[in-house]
Amino acid sequence: MQTTIVYIIGALAVAYFVMTIWKKVKGQGSCCSSGGCSGCGSIDKCR
């Protein structure tokens, strides 16, 4: 039982890790392409 819980926690940690890095690289979405840069933090598509 303990082993199963440990593996689930490990899988969640890996998923969180990958998601965090992905979000950092991509910014918070491509909201800049239309309607301005409302809070997306990205600047390269603002112009």
Say if CB 45 and CB 33 are below 8 A apart.
yes
For residue 12, the minimal CB distance to another protein (Å) is 8
Sites of contact with another protein (CB under 8 A): 2-3, 5-6, 9-10, 13-14, 16-17, 20-21, 24-27, 35-39, 41-44, 46-47
Q: How far is the CB of 41 from another protein (least distance, A)?
A: 6
Q: What is the DSSP string of 3-40?
A: HHHHHHHHHHHHHHHHHHHHHHHHTT-SGGGSSTTTTT
Cβ at position 1, least distance to another protein in Å = 8
